[in-house]
Amino acid sequence: AISFVGGDAAGDHIHERGTKNGKRVQSNKGAKNHGTIMPDSAKENVLNALIGASFGAAGQRCMALSTNIFVGDAQDWIPELRAKAEGLVVGEGMDAKSDVGPLITAQSKERCERLIQSAAEQGAEIILDGRGIEVDGCPNGNFVGPTIIDNVTPEMDCYKEEIFGPVMLCMRADSMEEAIEITNSNPYGNGAAIFTQSGGAARKYVSEVDAGQV
């Protein structure tokens, strides 16, 4: 048997070659995890959770919460989210003061920066731009600082592709039902989360959202 976790291209190749040779193949490929932020949730707790879930490990986690859908009045929290992210310290991974370390390869950095640029060109608003950041003592480091892209829509490349870096996409919806529809329309369904204080809303979300983990 073969078990793989990684990108789409490698996963497809391994699955094809493995099954042709009679192997059982488990291939876990790209991810785009969605959070739905309801206006009745505890704002400060939510913002702190989003910072950790999106930017921890420089976003290089299969379960990083890279896409967040703000419902109704929760959209007013995005400037405060930006302020918290702006305060994160980018630095060398062994430095205890660092909140966000480097990306794993130069190619990862290039992919992040390419998708950030594509978002700007396709009409999104980059409200916090982590490109071009410099870290003392690491002139050749693969650093991208925390980045937040607002007003993202489903047809944008940054939404259709897995970024796998410290980049948070912010989308907007008028209702939980619209947020669920957005989440379910994305081909990647690793995980999904809802932030709410309503038990009824949480149960409805769990029953209707299509994701591997909720």
Q: What are 191-214's pLDDT values in tens digits? A: 999 999 999 999 999 999 999 899
Report the amino acid identity of residue 42.
Answer: A
DSSP strand E in 15-164: where? 25-28, 34-37, 67-71, 125-128, 147-150
* pTM > 0.85: yes or no: yes
How far, in Å, CA of 210 to CA of 183, rounded? Answer: 8
Overall average pLDDT of the 51-78 stretch: 97
**Rg of the Cα trace of the chain?**
18
Express each pLDDT in 26-62 by its tens digit. 887 777 999 999 999 999 999 999 999 999 999 999 8
DSSP strand E in the chain: where? 2-5, 25-28, 34-37, 67-71, 125-128, 147-150, 167-173, 192-195
Task: Report, as residue numbers or ranges, the catalytic residues.
Answer: 62
Q: Which of 75, 80, 72 is nearest to 51 (CA)?
A: 80
Name the band, by pLDDT with cuts 50, 70 and 90, for residue 155. Answer: very high
How far, in Å, CA of 160 to CA of 91, rounded? Answer: 29
